[in-house]
Structure 1
Amino acid sequence: MQKVGSGSVRAALAELVALPCLFSLRPRPGATREAPRIKWTKVRTASGQRQDLPILVAKDNVVRVAKGWQGRVSLPTYPRHRANATLLLGPLRASDSGLYRCQVVRGIEDEQDLVPLEVTGVVFHYRAALDRYSLTFAEAQEACRLNSATIAAPRHLQAAFEDGFDNCDAGWLSDRTVRYPITQSRPGCYGDRSSLPGVRNYGRRDPRELYDVYCFARELGGEVFYVGLARRLTLAGARAQCRRQGAVLASVGQLHLAWHEGLDQCDPGWLADGSVRYPIQTPRRRCGGPAPGVRTVYRFVNRTGFPAPGERFDAYYPLEKGMETHSSVLAWRISWTEECGSQRVGHDRSDLARMSPEISKR
């Protein structure tokens, strides 16, 4: 028995994916036609932390799936094709990213293979600049498009909910339904599920009705960087500075994707839509709440309104794929510093008092 090389797998949130595990079986005198024993295990998380999480075991033509994976995994060719132990997994969650091990045993022969999986894409809630629940369905679609995303499908929101996304704001989805995900039931957020956790569903709505929206950003296509300067900028100043560098401010979708890929910065900065946000991987004191997520600075205490354009903040900007080298980033920072003053370490904590604590959670 000998394994056939597989390689890494990359797929988007909520999709079905096949993790390949192929072997060539050499005929042996007197060997039976019984299917080999197959075991799949998740051995590392997306961050590289060791993990030993059993997924399934197939033996004697019976497949036993571990709790937590039931309904999401299968061996589509077992036991018909004895040399194919490919695992079908989905709908994918962000937490499925990591390293998987396939083990195949036939008699005294034992072979294994490792398959890396990367799940791309992130769901985020979006509220218009002026007020809560102010987007028609068409305006919701356009808001997502302007923020490097598309309007999320129900399967995207469900996958995000299963990974812990909790947000008590009704938003449009691509099928023209209005839903919101609740992991911890509380007054005002019961919807159609009473006190049970789940995705609340208002059903299919008139496209002229007004709600927020849930967007889905698939690929970053580069990297997002934070620029902190001694002299902060107004929104117009940040946009003008970007233009002088031949760029634009990062979009909300780009910042969420950067957060999804590990960006952690406890400093509010302007984005292209005129909002002010910042990404947190490791929650800590005075950085906007106890959970990871992208924080938002609102003008009003009821979590509505973007900051006035004349207020001063730092900025987040994107570099396209292939440009995010150390020298490119250094050149950007030097150029910004020369025009706007030296870089500042830390930030004025008074700005953080208005930051939303949860907006987006894993």
Structure 2
Amino acid sequence: MFSKQLWPLAFVVFILTSAFSVTSLPADIEKGRRKVVHVLEDDTGAVIVQTAPGKVVTHRGGSITLPCRFHHEPENTDPARIRIKWTKVTDALQFEDVFVALGRQQRVFGSYRGRVFLEQAGPGDASVIIQNVTLEDYGRYECEVTNDMEDDTGFVNLDLEGVVFPYYPREGRYKLNYHQAEDACKQQDAILASHSQLHKAWLEGLDWCNAGWLEDGSVQYPISHPRDQCGRKDTPAGVRNYGYRHKEDERYDSFCFTSKLNGKVYFLKRFKKVNYAEATKACIRDGSVVAKVGQLYAAWKFQLLDRCEAGWLEDGSIRYPIVNPRSRCGGSQPGVRHLGFPDKKFRLYGVYCFRINKEETAGGNKTTKSPTDSLKRRKSSNSIPMNVTRVI
């Protein structure tokens, strides 16, 4: 067995360019941009498994390369005897199979079928491309390379550009156990946020005085402006942590995470205010559906949707997004304003609708093509890759 310890002597810079990886950077910045991955050598010069030192970043619906390279000595090792396996680390003791290849034989597992391919950028490349990235793809991945009895592993963290938002249902605050919180986020086009996502949101100014579930089963809440009603005024700002709670018996709110939309949220212009049933019918007549809470937050974050008009959402709540704060629109901070859950018979509000992109298929997934086909097209046209992977 090769030692899995990497001795810090020198850094080798491996340059990857990928036309499949995307970010929200403007197109004029993305042109010609390259992804830089640093890898380590041991004191014999033999590199075992090399992966990205930080994290790779994309958004929902994009494509991303999880970089991994390997080197075996002697170099004349039969490629057919090299096994490449990718797994997702779901927690400290559990792994989810993603992809495995032995020579030319390959297999993709579960929800990754049809979306994961070897990059095949040359000898020693174990990188995989994930297409049509989903919210659930977020997390930590392990790249394992095995040659007979020798093996080594490396890890890649896949991050998503997105937004965290607190959520509670019509029934009120602190009504959700862990599983109900998980379902509530999914119903609003989101997933339970991770601790790192909540911490990043706090760094960006999220301040919320009610504790909520996170994906690891802990209960936390972010405080940017300490006050007595939120854990004492004299305590420092930060993410307050209740620790891991009983998933069945204890009840809190939830913190959800969502990313870029495969569609558009818009306020439906009407001369008259509508009740909930009329709002639903109005969106359908316009070729859309009533927007979910997560979709409105994503539109606020990525579309920069700014509308000082309250409207119905799918869960029966009334909200509106503010990018440029003004006094008549609910305060001095940007955000999605929440006016609660009124009686659905009230004709006091407008409605926010959501329309999926035209390229979406009937099943809700984008049509994907294999990286090999796209590479052939790029070579034939000599075009410059426009989309890149960003490594932090």
Q: TM-score, structure 2 length as denominator?
A: 0.52
Q: Distance in 2 between matches of 1:245 and 1:159?
A: 37
Does residue 258 of structure 2 align to residue 217 of structure 1? yes
Does residue 348 of structure 2 align to residue 307 of structure 1? no
Q: Distance in 1 between matches of 2:185 and 2:263?
A: 19
Residue in 1 that maps onto 2:129: none
- Among 350, 354, 359, the residue aligned to 1:318: 354
- Structure 1's 291 and 323: CA in aligned 2 closer, same or farther, altered over 3 A? farther
Secondary structure of 1:129's aligned partner = coil
Secondary structure of 2:273's aligned partner = coil
Q: Tell which has more relative contact order, 1 or 2 (C-alpha 8 A, sep 6+).
A: 2
Cα deviation for residue 119 of structure 1 reads 5.9
Secondary structure of 1:148's aligned partner = coil
Q: Distance in 1 between matches of 2:40 and 2:180?
A: 48
Q: Which runs of 5+ in 1 are unaligned?
A: 13-18, 23-74, 95-117, 299-305, 325-362
TM alignment of 1:72-221, pairs within 5 A: 76-77=38-39, 120-190=161-231, 195-207=235-247, 208-221=249-262
8 Å CA contact retained: 1:144, 1:151: yes
Secondary structure of 1:243's aligned partner = helix
Counting aligned pairs with the same residue, the percent is 38
Q: Distance in 2 between matches of 1:122 and 1:244?
A: 30
TM alignment of 1:228-243, pairs within 5 A: 228-243=269-284
Q: Distance in 2 between matches of 1:93 and 1:321?
A: 19
After superposition, give the CA deviation of every residue in 1:184-242 in whole Å (9 maximum; x if it has no partner).
Answer: 21112228x96111110001111221111000112311111111311111001111222
- Structure 1's 5 and 153: CA in aligned 2 closer, same or farther, altered over 3 A? closer
Residue in 1 that maps onto 2:313: 271
Q: Distance in 1 between matches of 2:219 and 2:320?
A: 27
Residue in 2 that maps onto 1:286: 328
Q: Distance in 1 between matches of 2:202 and 2:234?
A: 17
Q: Distance in 1 between matches of 2:56 and 2:256?
A: 18
Cα deviation for residue 287 of structure 1 reads 0.5
Q: Distance in 2 between matches of 1:10 and 1:195?
A: 41
Residue in 2 that maps onto 1:67: none
Q: Distance in 1 between matches of 2:40 and 2:343?
A: 61
- Structure 1's 194 and 201: CA in aligned 2 closer, same or farther, altered over 3 A? farther
- Structure 1's 204 and 314: CA in aligned 2 closer, same or farther, altered over 3 A? same
8 Å CA contact retained: 2:319, 2:337: yes
Q: Distance in 1 between matches of 2:162 and 2:252?
A: 23
Secondary structure of 2:184's aligned partner = helix
Secondary structure of 1:241's aligned partner = helix
TM alignment of 1:35-46, pairs within 5 A: none
Q: Distance in 2 between matches of 1:258 and 1:212?
A: 23
8 Å CA contact retained: 1:93, 1:163: no
8 Å CA contact retained: 2:213, 2:252: yes
- Structure 1's 194 and 248: CA in aligned 2 closer, same or farther, altered over 3 A? same
Q: Distance in 2 between matches of 1:91 and 1:126?
A: 28
- Structure 1's 90 and 166: CA in aligned 2 closer, same or farther, altered over 3 A? farther
- Structure 1's 211 and 162: CA in aligned 2 closer, same or farther, altered over 3 A? same
Q: Which runs of 5+ in 2 are unaligned?
A: 1-14, 25-32, 46-50, 60-158, 361-392
After superposition, give the CA deviation of every residue in 1:32-91 in whole Å (9 maximum; x if it has no partner).
Answer: xxxxxxxxxxxxxxxxxxxxxxxxxxxxxxxxxxxxxxxxxxx7348999xxxx996559
Q: Distance in 2 between matches of 1:239 and 1:198?
A: 40
- Whichever residue aligns with residue 243 of structure 2, its letter is G
Q: Distance in 2 between matches of 1:93 and 1:288?
A: 32
How many residues were matched structurally? Answer: 229
Q: Distance in 1 between matches of 2:194 and 2:292?
A: 20
TM alignment of 1:47-66, pairs within 5 A: none
- Whichever residue aligns with residue 163 of structure 1, its letter is E
- Whichever residue aligns with residue 321 of structure 1, its letter is N
8 Å CA contact retained: 2:212, 2:219: yes
- Whichever residue aligns with residue 234 of structure 1, its letter is N
Secondary structure of 2:328's aligned partner = coil
- Whichever residue aligns with residue 314 of structure 1, its letter is G
